[in-house]
């Protein structure tokens, strides 16, 4: 799910009757930068950590009428669920459809926070590019699929490196089909000359 350095952006408080306030939080790895804007020009900024304690403080800072928006990222669903459990409405936005942000010349947290807050302020939620918040089972399945894909890629890379090693050693009769199972790999690796023993141990 999140590249380690990818930002998770949270945004949005909106009172359905008055629409008088917007809260916008942007999350990097360790902190949330929060901006609150209203119909007037007065803005309030605050920071929270992304630890459980920090998220708890954020939740206590929110009001029941708030609508909190998160840009989809590695920590967004965890934070969204914590906020939802407190009865505060949350929407998760698809970052790929937020052209307002990504076409901007300014890429700072504060600029992004303000622009996304205004986006939520001006548009009904149903018109925003939202992402469904998965339940725990769905999130576990996504994580499992991601891990499976990751390990499959690593296994393929390892096989390719072994095949390259055999080619360098002149064992061109060893093909990728000989590396499909662990037992076959062990048999094939045993054929390597002694000068390749160091590389052999890596596999």
Helix (H), strand (E), coil (C) string for 135-187: CHHHHHHHHHHHHHHHHHHHHHHHHHHHHHHHHHCCCCCCCHHHHCCHHHHHH
pLDDT score recorded for residue 28: 46
CA distance linking residue 44 with residue 85, whole number of Å: 25
CA distance linking residue 32 with residue 28, whole number of Å: 7
In DSSP terms, which residues pair with 33 in a beta bridge? 26, 47
pLDDT score recorded for residue 101: 56
CA distance linking residue 11 with residue 22, whole number of Å: 8
Q: Can you tell me whether residue 201 is helix, strand or coil?
A: helix
| Edge-to-edge strands, sheet with 31-38 | 43-49, 31-38, 21-27, 8-11, 67-71, 89-93, 130-131
pLDDT score recorded for residue 5: 31
DSSP codes of every residue in 39-94: SSS-EEEEEEESSHHHHHHHHHHS-TT-EEEEE-STTHHHHHHHHHTTT-EEEEE-
pLDDT score recorded for residue 103: 62
pLDDT score recorded for residue 117: 76
pLDDT score recorded for residue 11: 44
pLDDT score recorded for residue 149: 93
Tens of pLDDT, residue by residue, the chain (203 residues): 222 233 333 444 344 433 334 444 444 468 877 777 766 666 778 888 888 999 999 999 888 887 787 788 778 888 899 999 999 888 888 887 776 555 655 556 666 677 777 777 777 878 887 888 888 898 889 889 999 999 999 988 888 888 888 888 888 888 878 888 888 888 888 888 887 766 555 55
In DSSP terms, which residues pair with 26 in a beta bridge? 9, 33
pLDDT score recorded for residue 94: 84
pLDDT score recorded for residue 20: 39
Question: What is this structure's pTM?
Answer: 0.61
Provide φ and ψ at 49, rounded to 5°.
-80, 160
pLDDT score recorded for residue 10: 42
């Amino acid at each position: 799910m999140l590249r380690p350095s990818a930002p998770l952006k949270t945004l949005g408080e909106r009172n359905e009757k008055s629409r008088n306030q917007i809260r916008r939080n942007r999350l990097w790895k360790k902190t949330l930068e929060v901006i609150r804007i209203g119909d007037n020009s007065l803005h309030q900024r605050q920071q929270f950590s992304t630890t459980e304690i920090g998220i708890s403080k954020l939740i206590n800072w929110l009001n029941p009428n708030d609508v909190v928006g998160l840009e989809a990222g590695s920590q967004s669903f965890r934070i969204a669920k914590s906020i939802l459990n407190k009865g505060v409405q949350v929407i998760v936005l698809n970052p790929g459809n937020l052209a307002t942000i990504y076409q901007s010349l300014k890429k700072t947290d504060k600029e992004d926070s303000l622009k996304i807050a205004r986006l939520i302020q001006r548009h009904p939620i149903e018109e925003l590019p939202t992402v469904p918040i998965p339940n725990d089972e769905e999130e576990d399945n996504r994580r499992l699929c991601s891990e499976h894909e990751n390990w499959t890629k690593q296994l393929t890379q390892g096989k390719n490196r072994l095949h390259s090693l055999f080619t360098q050693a002149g064992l061109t009769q060893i093909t990728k089909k000989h590396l499909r199972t662990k037992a076959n790999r062990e048999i094939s690796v045993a054929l390597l000359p002694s000068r390749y023993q160091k590389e052999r141990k890596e596999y």
